[in-house]
Structure 1
Amino acid sequence: MLALAGRGLPGAERVRLVVYDFDGVMTDNRVITDQAGNESVRANRSDGLGVNLIRDLGIEQVILSTEVNPVVKARADKIGLEAVHGIRDKGSALLNLAEKHHISLSEVLFIGNDVNDADAMGYAGFKVAPADAHPAILALADYVTTAPGGHGVVRELADVLTAARGRAT
């Protein structure tokens, strides 16, 4: 916790909604395609624990993805999150989510990894990127995780948010 307190996210105690991109945040941004065309991704189980820790802080969470593959919804269902996927405009979708949840944009944390996340990040009060995000997204981020996408990004974020609230994980 000491290391996180030193490099945490100033003001993070105000976060009321976390919005995650899926590919490149909850996954390592790679896809496995079998001979029948079925796609699979890899997710880190510690991120499921991170989702629960963030939930225990009373923070709402949503996955927002352009991906149309049902794997997004399947993973969201597994970890108990709402998923909005198959959308083209993440910026507009983020505005709609904040309104739907009655949360000010200044209380929204968005975490994304690539240029299609830039509009949503621009609207969010808090901007987070995985260590291996695109350079343009890293430049926008208020906080860059030490973990690359798919390797515990959400778990690390849970520690950051917990530390911001003066709690221990």
Structure 2
Amino acid sequence: MPLSHLHDLDDDLLRRAARVRLACFDVDGTLTDGRIYLDSEGREIKAFNILDGQGLVLLRRHGIRVVLITARSGRAAELRAQELDVAIQSGVKDKRTAVGRLCAEMGIGLDEVSFMGDDLADLEAFKAVGLAVAPANAHAWTARHAHWHTRARGGEGAARELCDLLLGAHGHLPAILGDPA
């Protein structure tokens, strides 16, 4: 997101983004396009967008904690989290409770959390956090509770849009882009 686009965003959205200290992301449908491939051995295969991965790394490097929270358990998501050096919680049935535990661990409030998700498993977390974000292809029942909707679809750069918003709201874009502040 170019610096100039930050001026086009709603002031409330920018205030919410500036408070975020913990960025949580659903995996399937958010960091992936939602499709799950199974090979003949029953092994799961997923495709992750490299732009999203760079965004998650940038958040981590600039002091925003990143946690992937997924209802599914699977080695592909765990390997991706390990590769990006971000935390993952797999097999989570109650994402709202998981986010609450992370807040308690960090000593922060739910208003300092962003959560990106796309379907009903993410709904209660959406209702609780300070910044709920839905990719363009999120299911309508969940998307209507989002504070912001990305232009990109899940697995196609949607997470990067949120990362760029957070980095911009925190004032990190000039340093990242090598622009004078």
User: Which range, TM-score by smaller chain?
Assistant: over 0.9
Q: Does 1:10 align with 2:14?
A: yes
Cα distance in 2 between the residues matched to 1:86 and 1:19: 15
Cα distance in 2 between the residues matched to 1:163 and 1:82: 23
1:87 deviates by: 1.6
Contact 1:54-1:158 within 8 A present in 2 as well: yes
Contact 2:26-2:116 within 8 A present in 1 as well: yes
1:108 deviates by: 0.6
1:61 to 59, 66, 70: 66
Q: Structure 2: which 5+ runs fail to align?
A: none
Contact 1:4-1:159 within 8 A present in 2 as well: no
1:98 deviates by: 1.1
1:137 to 130, 142, 146: 142
Q: Does 1:84 align with 2:86?
A: no
1:167 deviates by: 3.8
Count of residue pairs the alignment pairs up: 169
Q: Does 1:120 align with 2:125?
A: yes
Q: Structure 1: which 5+ runs fail to align?
A: none
Q: Give the AA of the match of 1:96.
A: R
Indicate the SS of the match to 1:166: coil
Q: Which residue of 1 aligns with 2:102?
A: 97
Q: Which residue of 2 aligns with 1:153?
A: 158
Q: Which residue of 2 aligns with 1:72?
A: 77
Q: Does 1:109 align with 2:111?
A: no
Runs ≥4 in structure 1, deviation > 6 angstroms?
none
Given the two structures, how large is their TM-score scaled by the length of structure 2?
0.88
Cα distance in 2 between the residues matched to 1:79 and 1:111: 17
Contact 1:67-1:87 within 8 A present in 2 as well: yes
User: RMSD of the TM alignment (CA)?
Assistant: 1.3
Bigger relative contact order (CA 8 A; separation at least 6): 1
1:114 deviates by: 0.3
2:52 to 47, 56, 61: 47
Contact 1:5-1:163 within 8 A present in 2 as well: no
Q: Give the AA of the match of 2:80.
A: R
Given the two structures, how large is their TM-score scaled by the length of structure 1?
0.94
Taking every aligned residue pair, what percent have the same amino acid on both sides? 36
Contact 1:5-1:164 within 8 A present in 2 as well: no
1:29 deviates by: 0.4
